[in-house]
Structure 1
Amino acid sequence: MIETVTDGDVRVVTLDRPDRRNALTPAALDDLEAAIEGTDRPVVFLRGAGPAFCAGADLDAVAAVDDRDAAEAFARRGQEVAASIADSDAVVVAGIDGAARGGGVELALACDVRVATAEATFAETGATIGLFGAWGGTARLPEVVGLGEAMDLALSGRVLDADEALRTGLVSRVVDDPRAVAEEIAANDPAALRVIKARLRDDADRRVQERREAEAFADLHAEFER
């Protein structure tokens, strides 16, 4: 259910299971991780086929988990895939067109840039069925939107439209064509993109970050066309 197409400097990765709103099975998580880790392009554009971005974990797969150890392993596998997105050398752009729910929101949160169309909607619906998003969502959501907004979204299960997602910082733009944003980013220097992503994602002490920033600038400057 994961399709990949390379187009210039962008690898387009499509969650392609529209009849199930692109809900993710364990096999699909494996394929998604492979698609992200296997790219040699500076930008990955992640999208969903059909009228949804991603409904999150396939509920049949969730129901098939039959003991505590298996449940923990299922959560950890989703966390690993989300981490592969965050840790990729490529800049990963999520293009959300239609519904993002649960694990779909969590995958988007792991991406470097999130852009939405006017038709996009977002919800962390786990609490409505007695669960919660455990693919890194409880860590990343407060980082992106702040603790107060994260509490509201995760505890209520309410649905945000694109404008409210923009207001909260869940997405950075609402556009007609999310892929155009990926193309815009890919037009920049690939080495600079890789370094900037790494520096912005660095969670070390400020002094350490500043030292690494200066070192990375010097490395790029050595290749700078004067």
Structure 2
Amino acid sequence: MIRTTDADELRTVTLDRPDRRNALRPADLDELETAVTETDASIVFLRGAGDAFCAGADLDALAELSDPASFARRGQRVADAIETADPVVVAGIDGAARGGGVELALACDLRVATPAATFAEPGVRFGLFGAWGGTIRLRRVLREGDAFDFALSGSVVDAEEALRIGLVSRVVSDPRTVVAALASNKLDALRTIKKRLRDRRGRDEREAAEAIAFERLMKRYAGEIAAEWGGRDRTDGDG
């Protein structure tokens, strides 16, 4: 179900169950957590095989569970693992993202859609809701009114509407181009920025950590920084 390929500092993680629109069973969630967290890559690109990103939880598997709450907690753990993983995680959403698929995308650091992408939390229509941290992350990512509208309506949102409300940050023909552009940057800087943006401690602690991280990178790249900026006209608008 979970397929990985590695190239330099990039790991591509593919949800590979296209006949079920990449719906996830409990064991699939465990595989996904391992694929995202147990890697030395600086960037993880999460995608779905076929014509969907992820349909969320496999409802057939869910119906067989004696303890649905444990499945919810497992999904929460995996979403948390994606959010806090060392690599920068980019969701490339081409086709349908539904329910838990939306929640996994919300846990990623960057969500890039193609024009064919669509999003919905359809569980409300048959008495469920996004319990893999979805009610928490929707409020972080979207404005409150948009979060309520998306979660309560169950309506399908296309890529352009997802961009408008902030559910995705870009709509491009091929999300891999965005990943390639990220990979052209200093990879340890990417990891550092993710940690700083994800840091939810108090302001004083965050600012102290920010200063230390800045110093570390400055010392590491002092020569390159001097070469890049030393000969530039300080009035050229680039810094």
Q: Normalization by structure 1: what TM-score?
A: 0.96
**Alignment equivalent of 2:105, drawn from 103, 108, 112:** 108
Q: Secondary structure at the match of 2:5?
A: strand
**Alignment equivalent of 1:132, drawn from 114, 129, 134:** 129
Displacement over 4 Å in runs of 4+? none
Q: Alpha-carbon deviation of 1:216? A: 1.1
Q: Alpha-carbon deviation of 1:23? A: 0.1
Q: Alpha-carbon deviation of 1:142? A: 1.0
- Report the number of matched residues: 223
Identify the structure with bigger relative contact order (alpha carbons < 8 Å, sequence gap 6+).
Answer: 1
Q: How does 1:91-170 map to 2 (within 5 A)?
A: 91-170=88-167
Aligned to 1:221: 218
Residues of 2 paired with 1:129 and 1:187: CA distance? Answer: 45
Residues of 2 paired with 1:168 and 1:156: CA distance? Answer: 15
| Per-residue deviation, residues 2-47 of structure 1 (Å, max 9, x unmatched) | 0000123210000000000000011111110110111111000000
| Per-residue deviation, residues 69-111 of structure 1 (Å, max 9, x unmatched) | x221110100111111111110000000000000000000000
Residues of 2 paired with 1:31 and 1:183: CA distance? Answer: 25
| Per-residue deviation, residues 182-207 of structure 1 (Å, max 9, x unmatched) | 11111211111111000011112222
Identity over aligned residues, as a percent? Answer: 63
Aligned to 2:32: 32
Aligned to 2:231: none
Q: Secondary structure at the match of 1:214?
A: helix
Q: Please say if residues 10 and 183 of structure 1, whose CA atoms lie closer than 8 Å, have aligned partners that are also in contact.
A: no
Q: Alpha-carbon deviation of 1:59? A: 0.3
User: Of the two, which has the highest radius of gyration?
Assistant: 2
Q: Alpha-carbon deviation of 1:126? A: 1.4
Aligned to 1:209: 206
**Alignment equivalent of 1:194, drawn from 173, 191, 194:** 191
Report whether the alignment pairs 1:182 with 2:179. yes
Q: Which runs of 5+ in 1 are unaligned?
A: none
Aligned to 2:236: none
| Per-residue deviation, residues 38-62 of structure 1 (Å, max 9, x unmatched) | 1111000000000000000000111
Q: Alpha-carbon deviation of 1:209? A: 1.5
